[in-house]
C-alpha cells in the first residue's frame, strides 16, 4: 500500500524554469490523501514560498522546508532544527569582512543581517533555519575561510552556486526529516521519492521506489527509474 510520496520541488515537481500545478495533479493528490497516503514536498525553499506555490493543496501537503530544518503541516510547526543566534552572529560578523552579504532564513522570510540586527541581543527573536550568503565577487580564500568557520561550528553547506552560499545545521537534511515523518505518522507502507540532485539521495535511502528526473544526466542511483515529468507520472501511474 502506498503510504507516503516525497518529492523535491525545483526541477522535480516544478521545472526549474517555473510552472504550476495541473488540475489533474491537484485532483490526484486530493484522492490519494483522502485514501490515507501522505504527500510531502522536501525542498530547500522556505515555507512562505512553498505554501503560495502549492496553495490548492497546501492543507494536504507536508512541507519539509529549508533543506530539512523545518517541517510544517496545516500551518503548524511539527519539527525544527535551528542554528543558534550565537553561531549565526559569529559567522555573520566574520562574513561582513569577506565580500559576502548575509541573510537569515526564518520561518516566513529571508531577512538581511544588518549591523543593527547583529548589535541586538537576540538577533531576530525567531528561529534561524539557514544562513544564506550572497557572493559579491569574494576571493576564493574568503569563501574557504567562511566555509571552514561554518563547518567548525557544526553547520554544513546545503547549497552553493556562483551567486549563493548556504548553510544549515550539520544534522539537518532531507533524510533525517523523512525519518521524522515516518515516525510521526506511523508510515509502514510503500514510500516513493522523486528528485533531481544529490541532495535528494538521503531521502531516496528511505524510499521503496526512487524516481530520478531525466535532466539529471550526471547522476545515478541504484534501481532508480528515470522519468520526464513528476506531476504527469503521479497522475497516470499512481
Sheet holding 100-105, edge to edge: 110-112, 100-105, 130-135, 164-169, 155-160
pLDDT computed for residue 27 by the predictor: 98
The residue ranking higher by pLDDT, 103 or 154, is 154
Closest CA to 202 of 185, 184, 179, 225: 179
Please, what are the domains in the chain? 2-80+173-237 (3.40.50.1000), 85-169 (3.30.1240.10)
192 DSSP β-pair partners: 5, 209
CA 145 – CA 226 distance, rounded (Å)? 39
Q: What is the pLDDT of residue 124?
A: 67
Q: Which of 53-57, 82-86, 148-152 has the lowest mean pLDDT?
A: 82-86
Amino acid at each position: 500500500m502506498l503510504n507516503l510520496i516525497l518529492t523535491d520541488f525545483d526541477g522535480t515537481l516544478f521545472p526549474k524554469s517555473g510552472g504550476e500545478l495541473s488540475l489533474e495533479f491537484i485532483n490526484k493528490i486530493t484522492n490519494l490523501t483522502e485514501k490515507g497516503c501522505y504527500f510531502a514536498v522536501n525542498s530547500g525553499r522556505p515555507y512562505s514560498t512553498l505554501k503560495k506555490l502549492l496553495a490548492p493543496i497546501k492543507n494536504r501537503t507536508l512541507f519539509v522546508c529549508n533543506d530539512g530544518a523545518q517541517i510544517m503541516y496545516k500551518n503548524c510547526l511539527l519539527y525544527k532544527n535551528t542554528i543558534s543566534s550565537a553561531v549565526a552572529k559569529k559567522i555573520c560578523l566574520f562574513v561582513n569582512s569577506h565580500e559576502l552579504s548575509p541573510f537569515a532564513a526564518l520561518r516566513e522570510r529571508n531577512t538581511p543581517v544588518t549591523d543593527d540586527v547583529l548589535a541586538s541581543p537576540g538577533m531576530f527573536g525567531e528561529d534561524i533555519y539557514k544562513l544564506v550568503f550572497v557572493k559579491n565577487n569574494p576571493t576564493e580564500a574568503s569563501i574557504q575561510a567562511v566555509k571552514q568557520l561554518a563547518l567548525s561550528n557544526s553547520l554544513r553547506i546545503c547549497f552553493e552556486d556562483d551567486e549563493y552560499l548556504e548553510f544549515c545545521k550539520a544534522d539537518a537534511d532531507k533524510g533525517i526529516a523523512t525519518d521524522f515523518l515516518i515516525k510521526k505518522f506511523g508510515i509502514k507502507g510503500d514510500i516513493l521519492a522523486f528528485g533531481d540532485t544529490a541532495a535528494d539521495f538521503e531521502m531516496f535511502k528511505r524510499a521503496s521506489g526512487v524516481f530520478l528526473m531525466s535532466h539529471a544526466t550526471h547522476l545515478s542511483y541504484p534501481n532508480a527509474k528515470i522519468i520526464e515529468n513528476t506531476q504527469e507520472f503521479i497522475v497516470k501511474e499512481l
